[in-house]
Amino acid sequence: MKGARNQRNIRRKQVLVSTTDGGPWWRSAVIYQVYPRSFADGNGDGVGDIGGIRAHLGHLRDLGVDAIWMSPWYPSPMADAGYDVADFRDIDPVFGSLTEAETLIEEAHAAGIRMIVDIVPNHISSEHPWFKAALADPDAPERELFWFRPGRGENGDEMPTDWRGEFDGTTWTRTADGQWYLHLFAPEQPDLNWDHPKVREEFESILRFWFDRGVDGIRIDSAALLLKDPSLPEVMADTPHPFHDLDGVHDVYRAWRRVSDSYDGDRALIGEVWMPEVERFANYLRPDELHAAFNFDLLGCAWDPVLMRESIDRTLHAHAAVGAPATWVLSNHDVTRHVTRYGREDTTFSFDNNLDGTPVDLELGTRRARAAALLSLSLPGATYIYQGDELGLWENEAIPEDQRQDPMWARRGHGREGCRVPLPWSGDESPFGFSTVTPWLPQPADWKGLTAQAQSGDPSSMLSLYRSAIALRRAEPGLHEPAMAWIDLHPEVLAYCRGAAFACVVNMSGASVALPDHESLLLASGPLDGDRIPPDTAVWLRMR
């Protein structure tokens, strides 16, 4: 990365336009992603569930998060860990019941925590009644709700297109009657036909179902993929993409916005939009579309001051152009945990660059993850925490092959189980208070020192750092300033202020740097060296 970095010039100090304005919660919230299967097991079957979440709400309250984003909890055959939904209006028995979900929503609200549910509109489970009806009869009207097509070639035995799927597999599966159906993900996730009014009506009704139950926001899975070009062209450079980011998708979100706006309170629509072009990304955030979208630019970025600064600038400018809040994400249930990423020689992340098994310095990765926490929690906008980030968990790269269930494993040689390992709550050995039985994925024995219990009373722990940072984020007026401005301290140091009263300094150089002039040290991600900030360490300062 050094080469790439050296080719770029450090920009001059610039003032960035506001992306937070002290307005609705979703503009500046700290949002905690719960991956229910791995959060906490309340009924002793080795799999996390709603009972476990309810039992540990105190952890989230003490952490100080504003909202929970719940990964899918609906009935599902779990071909893609719940992102293959068979019924959007119920809860999978492995997680509990709808009544328990309603209770959780109430209890979270009582604890001052908002709830965001995950809706998956691009595809449904092959076990959904619509797809079962479509498959049962070639003349069934339900076929129109999907992408059924004859094959190419003399016998129709060639796929209708050569599109590569999002899991890097083929995208069509042939049915017994000879037709093919489209699935951008696994075959158990048939794509819906968003040109059909019934699909649109159904999802608007699903939004209402959850808004009626009090949820505060909807996370929209694979939000840019819904529409397809019905002429099914191949993917070619310099021609519009046949299924990624088609213009018509914006009508869907305008309609969804009308639904969310029809409810009281600040109900938010938050899109999962993987998009290299920032202008196209920002289109989803126009005032009559989504409220916010996940920004994965920083997540994929190397631990490199120049590249990170460019990523932050890119993000803030793109969002400012449409008046939307930026979002900051370091990890989620799909990507290698950032303690591990930042401990590797190549600190980037992308699905196309599988670094599994390359050497990891966990001590270095942890030091950087601590600094990254202060970075991501002090940038203007909303910040996402993936469960376990606050404990400093690393990727479990030692998952036995026979426990790999992720459809990505077979197709890309990278499974996402390593970041989905059950949380360690207490005790000296697995299941570390997660369950009373063996958890569904193995927990590293070395997580003994990382349990929530072990870290709770330790002021130097990752958990204490997150708790302090989130508390300061609320209390420190500087962190409510909508704008940020870079401070040019050193070419390999990221430094910025929020208004006149707050500064964050992240030393990404290989040597210590002097603390800039300040009134008081609010927080440091690691021990300081007198009045110097050691490498891979961040500080929050109250300025004079």
Positions marked active-site: 221, 272
In whole angstroms, what is the distance from residue 538 CA to residue 489 CA?
13
CB of 81 to ligand NOJ, least distance (A): 7
**Please, what is the minimum distance in Å from the beta carbon of residue 140 to ligand NOJ?**
25
Nearer CB in complex with ligand NOJ: 406/492: 406
Identify which of residues 183 and 367 has a Cβ nearer to ligand NOJ in the complex. Answer: 183
Restricting to residues 296-325, name those near ligand NOJ by CB under 6 A. Answer: none
| C-alpha count within 13 angstroms, C-beta hemisphere, residue 433 | 16
CB of 61 to ligand NOJ, least distance (A): 26
| C-beta closer to ligand NOJ: residue 185 or 434 | 185
How many Cα atoms are found within 13 Å in the side-chain-facing hemisphere of 198? Answer: 9
- Binding to ligand NOJ, residues 66-125 (CB under 6 A): 80, 83, 120
Helices (H) and strands (E) in the chain, counts: 15, 18
C-alpha–C-alpha distance, residues 309 and 328, integer Å: 13
In one-letter notation, the amino acid at residue 379 is L
- What is the footprint of ligand NOJ within residues 186-215 (CB under 6 A)? none
- Closest to ligand NOJ by CB, 83 or 466: 83
Shortest distance (Å) from residue 221 CB to ligand NOJ: 5
Angle between helices 462-475 and 362-376 (to 10 degrees): 10
Q: Which member of 185, 384, 496, 502 binds ligand NOJ (CB under 6 A)?
A: 185
Q: Which of residues 120-179 bind ligand NOJ (CB under 6 A)?
A: 120
Q: Least distance in Å: CB of 335 to ligand NOJ?
A: 9
Nearest to ligand NOJ of 79, 101 (CB atom):
79
Residue 209 or 351: the one with the smaller Cβ distance to ligand NOJ is 351
Cβ partners under 8 Å of residue 203, min gap 6: 119, 121, 256
User: Could you tell me how many residues of this chain bind ligand NOJ (CB under 6 A)?
Assistant: 9
CB atoms within 10 A of CB 146: 23
Q: What share of the chain is helix, strand, coil (3-state, %, to 5)?
A: 30, 15, 55
- Minimum CB separation of residue 356 from ligand NOJ in Å reads 17
In the complex with ligand NOJ, the residue whose CB is nearer, 64 or 415, is 415
Nearer to ligand NOJ, 328 or 496 (CB): 328
Quick check: 490 and 471 in contact, CB under 8 A?
no
Per-residue binding letters, 260-279, with ligand NOJ (x by CB under 6 A): ------------x-------
- Binding mask 216-245 toward ligand NOJ (x if CB under 6 A, else -) reads -----xx-----------------------
| H/E run at residue 119 | strand 114-119
49 near ligand NOJ (CB under 6 A):
no
CB atoms within 10 A of CB 475: 10
Query: Smallest distance from the beta carbon of 513 to ligand NOJ, in angstroms?
Result: 38
The β-bridge relationship of strands 493-498 and 30-34 is unpaired
C-beta closer to ligand NOJ: residue 80 or 92: 80
Pairwise CA distance, residues 41 & 51, whole Å? 7
Calpha distance 343→211 (Å, rounded): 41
Sign of the Cα torsion 19, 21, 25, 30 reads: positive
CB-based contacts of 496, cutoff 8 Å, min separation 6: 484, 485, 486, 487, 503, 504
> What tokens were used for 339?
């303690």
Contact (Cβ atoms closer than 8 angstroms) between residue 327 and residue 292 = yes
CA-CA distance, 336 to 333, in Å (whole number)? 8
Backbone torsions φ then ψ of 197, nearest 5 degrees: -60, -30
Least spacing, CB of residue 419 vs ligand NOJ, in Å:
11
Q: What does the DSSP assignment read for 49-91?
A: -HHHHHHTHHHHHHHT-SEEEE---SS---TTTTSS-S-TTS-
C-beta of 518: minimal distance to ligand NOJ in Å?
A: 40
Q: Distance (Å, rounded) from C-alpha 123 to C-alpha 272? A: 14
* 498, amino acid identity: R
The half-sphere exposure of 4 on its side-chain side, counting CA atoms within 13 A, is 12
The verdict on 334 binding ligand NOJ (CB under 6 A) reads yes
Q: In this chain, which residue has its C-beta nearest to ligand NOJ? A: 83
Site residues (vs ligand NOJ, CB under 6 A): 80, 83, 120, 185, 221-222, 272, 333-334
